Every structure is written in C-alpha cells, then in structure tokens.
Structure 1
C-alpha cells in the first residue's frame, strides 16, 4: 500500500526552490562583478558597495513590506520580487555604477522577502519534532544557490562573456519562479477578497514600520536570538561577498578556480545547515549547536585572512568547506528558534524583525570591509575583526528556557 505524501512536503519543496532561486540571484553579484568591473573600470571595492545595495533592497522590503506580505501573501511577494530581480539584471549592461547599484537594490527585494515568507508557511506545516530540520532544509537553499552560481557563472563568463551569462542567469531566476506560481495560491494565508486592497501610505502605515522590530521585544530570548543572527552574519557576509575577489586579488587565483572554491564553500553550507538542524533536534538544544558553529566560523574567517599564495590549493578548499559548514550553516536553526519563540500571530513580524538586523549587518559590513581594504590594503585585519565579532555569539546566546 502506497503511503500518503506528508502534508509538509509540497510547502517545503516550493519554499526550498524559491529560497534557492533567491540565493542564486544574490550570489550572482560577487561572482560576476569582477568581470563587469574590469571592463567598466569600477574597481575591486565596488563589489562591496554592490552587495551592500543588494542588502539595502532586502532591508527595504523587511521594513516597509509587512503589509504586502500580509495582503498578497509571503510566497506571492517573494515570487513578484524574483520577477523584478530577473528583469533588473538587464541594467548591468549599462556602464554606470549608479545604475548597477539601483539594479542590485531591486534584486535584493527577494532576499528580504524569503525569510518571512518561508517562516510563516513552514511554521504552519512543520511537525514540531522536525521543525529545526525542516527550517534548515529550507535554509540549505541559500548555499545551494551559491553552489549553482559558483559553478555555472564562471563557466559561462570565461568562454562566452559576462553578457551571455547575464541572460542565462535571468532565465535561471525566472523559470523556477513561474513554475511555483500556482502553488502559492494554496499555501499563502491572505485576507478574503472583500477585505483585500492596497492603500496609500499614511501615518498609520508609517507606524507599522516599527512593528517588526517592536515584535522582538516580546521576550528577552527572542531579541537575543535575533542579535545572535546578526553576529553570525558578519563572518558569513564577508565569506559570501569577498571570497572570489580575495582569491583573485590576494592569492592569484583565476575566476574559474575562485568560483570552484566559492562553490565548495557553499556546498559546505548545504551540508552544514541540514546537519546542524538535525543535531539541534537530536540534542534538543539550539544553543549547543550554535555555539559550535560560532567557534568554527570565527576560526575559519581568521584563517582566511592569514592565507597567502604559498598555501597549497587543497588547504584553501578544505578551509572553504569547513567555513561553509559553520559560517554559513547557522541560519536554519536561528530562524526556527525565532519562529518557536514568537507569538503564533506574529511569526512573520518577528521573522522580519530578526531579518532586518541581519540585513543591516549585510549592508554595513561589506561597505566597511571594502572601504577598509581600499584604504589599508589589509585583508588579514578585516577578516580577523569579522571573526572576532562572531565569537560574541557565545555571549548573546539565550538559555533554552529564556
């Protein structure tokens, strides 16, 4: 007799596909930017600013898009932002850095919508005993998108040029988005058609901008867990944003080899996120698993800054893999903990509030990192400081009962 398909399977597959697509759109920037900036003469530090603009787009929809998420639905909002992001990639054909920054801002909208959309849907469909694992599987889509970007984009840029790669990447975002279009109508919780409407911004809507952050103050553990996410994000965004350009500029790697190392790091993130989610459920403690991830994340980030051209390539690959398993593996457990500690009717708001803190870090850290390296030329100090900041996770991690 054929067993019935679990009710949570369709939601997690749909959210996983959209999460992977959103991540691919974000990881596209630091991988293709070296080729674009070289042709247009933007300079290596522009990668940090483009990434910051992408994070600013995510921050904008987290702060101002809560009403859209409620009325249109989380999955539909994510899908619409992916369509816009795919279209905005065409603006990279213009040589203006300002236009590229605006395009990155639009592309970042999907990154901001992904966590609230996924948290709201999965919290309703996840079995309690598998919540950390399911959230971690969903978050494994983030590094998987990076794996795809790291392997595919350099493989297209080298023989065909970055413009052809741009077109293919736009299609790779658009196709899975449209493939999941009908599913959102069944999974999203939206108001009835009689009450569904948009309204022009007013004082009341401006007041709603405070709701995501205000919702984190419901209990101390919720706020601490959100701060933990922002501290983890410091090392993660440095790895995601600067690995390729660092390997090319400081270690003399080709774009293709740097892309492979980036893909290995992201593959470590896929394995690490699922393993950390399983470990947290098995131990019944998110605090213990996140403590291990914080120590490994800080160590690998410092070691990346200390690396030099004399290091064998295999040591860089191993370091990148371990970093993926730690610096890029915390998200699923942290997001699941935020959802678990949230009042049931405020899950999308608390998820958005926590993501706002992470996106602020993702916006400020690449900018500061790029400016520091441009001024001092010292990658080692920049990576070292990022690793030290991540160790603060051990101080802010809440107790299980808090």
Structure 2
C-alpha cells in the first residue's frame, strides 16, 4: 500500500520554492549590474546603492505589510510581490540609475515578505523536534537562488546579452510562482470574516506600523537574537553585494569566473544552512552553532579583503565555499530561535521585526561599504570592518532557551 505524503511536506516545499525565487530575484542585481554599468557608464559603487535600494524595498514591506500578511495571507503576499518584482526588471532597460534604483526597490519587496510568510507557515507545519532543520532547509533556498543566479546569468549575458537575460530571469520568477498559486489557498490562515483585505488607512492601522519592532521587546532574549541576525548580516551583505565586482575589478576575474565563485559561495550556503540547522538540533544549542558560524564568518570576510591577484584560483574558490558555509549559514537557526521565543500569536510580527533589523543592515552596510571604497579605494579595510562587526555576535548571543521555557 502506497504511503501518503506527510501533511507538512507540501507547505515546506511551497515555501522553499518561493524563498528560492525571492532570493534569485535579489541575487540577480549584483551579478548583472557590472554588465549594465559598463554599457550605461554607471560607477562601480552604484552596485552598493542598487543593493541598498533592494533592501529598502524589503524593509518597506516588513514595516507596512504586517496588516497585509494577516488580511490576505503570508504566502499570497509573497507571491504578489514576486510578480511585481518580475515586472520591475524591465526598468533596467532604461539608462538612468534612478530608474534602476526604483526597480531594485520593487524587487526587494519579495525579500521582505519571505521571512514572515515562511516563519508563520513553518511554525505551524514543522514536525516536532526538527524545527531548526526545517527552518534551515527553507532558508537554504536563499543561497540556492544565488547558485542559480551565479551559474545562469553570466552565461546568458555572455551568449545572448544582458537584455535577453533580463526577460529570461523574469520568466524564471513568474513560472514557479504561478505553480504555487493554488497551494497558498490551502496553507494561508483564513482572514477574519467580514474583514476586507484592502481598506482605508486608519489611525489604528498607522500606529500598527511599529508593531513588528515593539514585538521584539517582549523579552530580552528575543531582542538579542534579533540583533544577532543584524550583526551576521553585515558580512553576509558585503559578500553577496561585492564579491563579483571585487573579483572583476581587483583580482582580474572575468564575469564568468566571478559568477562561478559566487555560485560556489552560495552552494556553501545551502550546505551550511542545512548543516547548521542539523547541528543546532543535535546539540540542542543555537548558541553553540551560531558562535561557530560567527568565528568563521569574521575570518573569511577579512581574508577576502586581504586576497591579491597572486592568490591561486583554488584558494579563492575554497574561501568562497567556507564563507558561504558560515557567513550565509546562520539564517535558519536564527529565524527558528526568533519563532521559538515568540508568543504563538505573534510569530509573524516578531519575524517581521527581526527581519526589519536585518534589512536595515542590508541597506546600510553595502551603502557604507561602497562609500568607503569610493573615498579610500581600500577593499581590505572595508572587508575587515565587516568581519569585526560580525564577531560581535559572540558578545550579544543570548543563552539557549529550552523548549517550553
């Protein structure tokens, strides 16, 4: 007799697919930007500002989208923002940087919606005793989207041009999102009867804009684990944003070679996120696993800035893989800890609040990095400073909260 699939499999698979597509949409920017910048004459530092605009879009939906999550559901919100992001990719055809910044803002909406939507669904459907692993599997979609972008986009740019790559990438966002459309109707919690999903803003709804951040103040440990995520995001955002342009401008790599290194880094992130989630469940300690990730993240980030054109290719590839396994591995465990420390009816709010802090860093860190490099020309100091920020995780990490505590 054929066994039926477990009830949690479809929700986890659907969230994983949408998370991967949202990540692909954001990783698209730093990979295709060098080709666009070269044709339109944008400065090299523009990549940092485009990435910051993308993070600002994520921040906007986290601050203002809490009511929308509750009214139409987290998955539906994520799907709609993905469609909007795919459409906005066409604006890269305009040579003005301002138009590209606006497009990046819209593309960032889905990145902001992904964590609250995923946290609420996975907290309801995750099998007991495997929450860290399940959250980490979902978050493995982030670097997986980067792997796809790093391997696919440089090839398309080389053989068909970046304009063709734009439209192909838009199709890659739209198609999987359409395939999950009917699933969200079964997974999202139904809104309250008689409550319209759109309505006129009221004073109460405006006051609710700060609800995600206020929800983090419910306990000291909840705020600390949220700050931990923002400290990890410093190194991660710099790796994600500047690896390709750094390899091309300072180490003499081609776009294809830099794309492969980027994909290797993201592959390390897939393995690292799942591995760190398993380790946290095995040790029953998020503190131990996140401390290990912080040490390796800080070291690899500083080493990237110290690299020179004389370093053999294999050392850069190895460094990128280790960085992916550490600097990009923390998300699942940290998000699971936020959900575990949250009141059951406040998971989407606390997930949004934690993500707001991370997105603030994702916006500010690349901007500061780009400005510092533009003024000083010193990538080594910039990467070393990013690594030092992430090392502060060791001082901020809260003690593990035992189940039921």
TM-score, scaled relative to structure 1 = 0.99
- Cα distance in 2 for partners of 1:4, 1:27 equals 36
Query: 1:128 offset after TM fit, Å?
Result: 2.4
Q: Give the whole-Å Cα distance in 2 for the aligned partners of 1:401 and 1:32.
A: 42
Tell me the residue number matched to 2:342.
Answer: 342
Corresponding residue of 2:40:
40
Write the deviation string for residues 71-128 of structure 1: whole angstroms up to 9, x where unpaired: 0100000000000000000000000100000000000000000000000000000022
The equivalent residue for 1:137 is 137
Aligned to 1:241: 241
Aligned counterpart, 1:229: 229
Q: Which residues of structure 1 form unaligned runs of 5+?
A: none
**Cross-structure match for 2:314:** 314
How far did residue 159 of structure 1 move? 1.3
Distance 2:125 2:278 in 1: 18
Q: How does 1:258-273 map to 2 (within 5 A)?
A: 258-273=258-273
The Cα of 1:149 is off from its aligned counterpart by 0.1
Q: Distance in 1 between matches of 2:194 and 2:133?
A: 38
Q: Which moved more, 1:172-181 or 1:185-194?
A: 185-194
How big is each residue's C-alpha offset from its partner over 1:209-265, in whole Å with a ceiling of 9 and x where there is no partner? 110000001111100000000000000000000000000000000000000000000
Q: Map of 1:90-239 to 2, 5 A cutoff?
A: 90-239=90-239
Residues 311-369 of structure 1: CA deviation (Å, up to 9, x unaligned) = 00000000000000000000000000000000000000000000000000000001000
CA distance in 1, matches of 2:196, 2:207: 20
1:6 and 2:33 aligned: no
Residue deviations 1:150-187, cap 9 Å, x none? 00000000111100000100000000000100000000
Structure 2 counterpart SS, 1:210: helix
Displacement, 1:400? 1.1
What's the RMSD between the two structures over aligned residues? 0.8
**SS of alignment partner, residue 128 of structure 1:** coil
In structure 2, stretches of 5+ residues that fail to align are none
- SS where residue 390 of structure 1 aligns? helix
Ranges of 4+ aligned residues in structure 1 off by more than 2 Å: 1-4, 192-197
Deviation, structure 1 residue 31: 0.1
Q: Give the number of aligned pairs.
A: 402
Query: TM-score normalised to the size of structure 2?
Result: 0.98
